[in-house]
Amino acid sequence: MSLYLDYNATAPLRPVALAAFEQAYAHTGNASSVHAAGRQARALVEDARQRIARAAGFSPAELIFTSGGTESNHLALTGLKVAARLTSSIEHESVLKNSAHAQRLPVTADGLVDLTAARALIAAAKRPALVSVMWVNNETGVIQPIAQLLGICREYGAYLHVDAVQALGRVALDVPVDLLTLSAHKVGGPLGVGALLVRAPLDVEPLLCGGGQERGRRAGTENVPAIHAFAAAVEAALADLPELQRRAAWRDAFEQRLLQVPGTVIIGQAAPRVANTSCFALPGFKSELQLMQLDLKGVAVSSGSACSSGKVTRSHVLTAMGLPAEVCNSVLRVSFGWKTAESELISCAEIWTELANSVIRKASGA
């Protein structure tokens, strides 16, 4: 048996993205060259720029291609010159480590940004301020109140950057935020390509200097095949969005099976969540032991973020939510997507409940 249920780490490459990659790779040409081959490469890049920008509610000139979500977050946080920065306490490490001196917006026990506290902190911040909050949490799947946060930012003259890496293809990107981070491989595109969208008249200073690529905002030869495939994956993900949202029923049924094991906790269950993510814990059944046992049975899941060099460490997200250590130390995340069958979730739940019940029996001496 082989069950891949770690889409929040990376999704399988979509056939349409692979076809687009191969199509672009068959053409030789640097997108900065003025000859015919270069112009053809440039046309592929600009076509992708238009398609992705349109999907995110920006104009093509506002999109900067990057190597992925981490670079885009770094560029947003360090490239926009502001007097103060504020981020939530549950952001991805690529935000937290690029805003070490930022004020942290607290979250509720459900994993939602505390809007009352956020308003007070944003109101008191030096102006202009940059607020950075992810749209969907990568560990819990909780959807943040982005529209309300944007309203607060507008009220106090602050800019709002949103890491939408886990939101693209899972919720409608229908709030006109100031800066938006996207990544291809979370929606079935290739690894190593992403985008930062910066709403005019704002602009960012480049991290990478050299050539004049990306209107001088990000030097380096464009990865034409990956960019072309990125656009194909984005459009496919948006077309699949209604079906994915209907699959919240799959997640709910999966969680009901887990809850048959006494002591099981569903993280963020009371908050709005994306349909494809379930974060749960059985206190006393350590995450690393669960991961190893599931892996031996051919089930690929995670214990949270996949961006910690393969380490299983206590989640700063769950800690910020105020969850006790015994929950934080036993959490797992199951995430699925375009290629998942409902039967795979059922199988995963059956395997996990068997393992969990075995742990309970051993603990009770039965």
Catalytic residue annotation? 307
Exposed/middle/buried for residue 361 (C-beta within 10 Å: 0-12, 13-18, 19+): exposed
Q: Residue 204: which residues within 8 A CB-CB, separation 6 or more? A: 64, 75, 76, 79, 80, 179, 196, 198, 217
- HSE-up of 24 (CA within 13 Å, CB side)? 29
Q: Residue 335: which residues within 8 A CB-CB, separation 6 or more? A: 5, 6, 7, 8, 9, 141, 276, 277, 278, 301, 302
Structure tokens at 190: 């290739």
Using CA atoms, how far residue 93 sits from 54, 57, 83, 137, 307, in Å, is 28, 26, 22, 12, 8
Structure tokens at 305: 């973020």
Q: List the helix and strand counts (H, then E) for the chain.
A: 12, 12
**Cα 301 to Cα 292: distance, rounded to the nearest angstrom:** 10
Q: Can you list the positions of beta strands (E) in the chain?
A: 3-4, 63-66, 84-88, 103-105, 129-132, 159-163, 179-183, 194-198, 265-266, 277-281, 299-300, 331-335
Backbone dihedral angles phi then psi of residue 169, each to the nearest 5 degrees:
80, 0
**Cα 170 to Cα 288: distance, rounded to the nearest angstrom:** 28
Q: Which residue has the tokens 């099981």?
A: 264
Cβ contact 112:75 at 8 Å: no
**Cα 78 to Cα 73: distance, rounded to the nearest angstrom:** 9
**Cα 202 to Cα 302: distance, rounded to the nearest angstrom:** 37
Q: Which residue has the tokens 């030789």?
A: 28
**Cα 230 to Cα 245: distance, rounded to the nearest angstrom:** 22
